[in-house]
Amino acid sequence: MELKYTVQNYDWGMKGTTSSVARLLKGSDPAAHVDEEKTYSELWMGTHPNGPSFVKATGESLGEFIGANKEVLGDPVRESFGDDLPFLFKVLSVRKALSLQAHPDKARAESLHKLHPDIYKDPNHKPEMPIALTPFEALCGFRPVPEIQNFLKKIPELCAVIGQGTVEDFISSGETDPKPHLQKCLQGLLTHNADSTAHELKKFIDRLSEMSEPGREELNARIMEKLHADYPGDVGCFGLYFFNFITLQPGEALYLGANEPHAYISGDCMEIMSCSDNVVRAGLTPKLKDVDTLVEMLTYNCEAAELKRFKPVKEDDYSEVFRPPIKDFAVSKIELPPGTPSYALPPRNSAGILIIIEGSVEVNSQVYCPGSVLFIKANEQLSLNIRTKDGRTLMFEGFANV
Ligand SMILES: [Zn+2]
């Protein structure tokens, strides 16, 4: 069953046909108009009210279709989540960094929603998982303590914003019990006077521009300058020196569980998440920053960037599955080499959403091109005839991890 989907045009998206989102939209619907001046940031697949998908043949929303045919979800999904899809599946094309943020766990999401229903609009947690389509840059989790302390020693502008005493206490404590020190540093950083922060950032950016290459490299100058160009004067730029900077290669993933600080910086990715809008922001955004909540809730696991990549499990010759430690979602990446005649999609005990990224496939004598999205009922056996003439066929399927 083919779906029509919603595309979002947020300001941080890539422009025109440089955006994977726009290219996929055009691929699935040659009549679609792509405006080269417009941003195409996200393609949404699912039942979320802010961007629902529709059944192409009937025009009915996917949510309505599921409501009238609940068995398509699969019994384990209905038992765990009720009568709706528990996940939202997306393609993202990021030109300008997204806000520095974390998502609460279930218990905190419930209490935040109760206290501030206007800001935290639902009581659900929001784990998420990006899988890179192109080299994808992100910040994720706290850096190892010696790395952070080394940056603090080399960046007096950052120390001035945090507060000299707080920084000295942290450095002299070495690596013992870093959490209270990091909390104090973040609190100092994120509550500092905005004008003074912007001034110190400007000073630092000017200093970077005059440094020689080894020094610039050590301070991640290229990323710092990009963040500052995206959000001039925003305190979140300094987040680079607390959180791991990671470049995911195509096919590599991150799993962002509850309370894990992160920011997407640039590139294209698949993303899957639980159905929720609960975001606690700290910077790189004009939106509300809830510093106290964020500083209190974060995971302060300081570990190396290499440990952050989330590994898939091989399912068959062509498919590997990313299965996080929650029931809400999993994703399989299916990559068929040139010349593969057909592929039998493994049946799932959950409804699934399949998107074709490269190549074309035929199902029941209907041909689907890149950008086509199919809804797959639980336990459905689907056989795909591969129509790709040359090159690989690349698809991703999102489903519940029940
Ligand atoms: Zn997030």
What is the pLDDT, as a whole number, of residue 118?
85
- The Cα 354–Cα 374 span in angstroms is 5
Q: How far is the CA of 381 from the centre of ligand 1 (A)?
A: 33
| Whole-structure pTM value | 0.94
Dist. CA 259 → ligand 1 center (Å): 10
Domain of 159, CATH number, reads 1.10.441.10
Question: Cα separation of 50 and 46, whole Å?
Answer: 10
Q: Hey, which residues are catalytic here?
A: 281
Q: Alpha helix locations (H) across 97-155?
A: 106-115, 145-154
| 186 inside domain | yes
Burial 276-301 (b: 16+ CB within 10 A, else e): bebbbbbbbbeeebbbebbbebbebe
Q: Where are the alpha helices (DSSP H) in 84-127?
A: 106-115
158 within domain boundaries: yes
Other beta carbons within 10 angstroms of residue 339's beta carbon come to 10
Concatenating the DSSP letter of every residue in 285-304 gives SSS---HHHHHHH----B--
Strand residues in 195-259 grouped as ranges (E): 243-248, 253-254
Cα(261) to centroid of ligand 1, in Å? 8
Is residue 178 situated within a structural domain?
Answer: yes
> Is 306 a member of any domain?
no
What total of structural domains would you count in the chain?
1
For residue 131, give both structure tokens. 């899988």
> Could you tell me the distance, in angstroms and rounded to a whole number, from the CA of residue 262 to the centre of ligand 1?
7
Dist CA 183 CA 175 (whole Å) = 14
Question: Is 190 domain-assigned?
Answer: yes
Residue 180 lies in a domain: yes
Q: What is the DSSP string of 323-374?
A: --SSSS-EEEEEEE-TT--EEEEPP-SS-EEEEEEES-EEETTEEE-TT-EE
Residue 75 Cα to ligand 1 middle (Å): 29
**Ligand 1 centre distance from Cα of residue 350 (Å):** 24
Distance (Å, whole) CA 368 – CA 374: 9
Q: What tokens appear for 194 in the block?
A: 């905005």
| Residue 366 within any structural domain of the chain | no
Closest by CA to 332, choosing from 356, 315, 357, is 315
Sign of CA dihedral 370, 36, 266, 47: negative
- Our CA dihedral for 199, 201, 204, 208, rounded to 10 degrees, sits at -130
- Assigned domain for 183 exists: yes
Q: Which of the residues in the chain have pLDDT under 70? A: none
CB atoms within 10 A of CB 245: 18
- Please tell me the distance between residue 156's alpha carbon and the centre of ligand 1 in angstroms: 30
344: number of Cβ within 10 Å: 10
For residue 163, give its domain range: 142-240
Q: Which two tokens stand for residue 46?
A: 């699912």
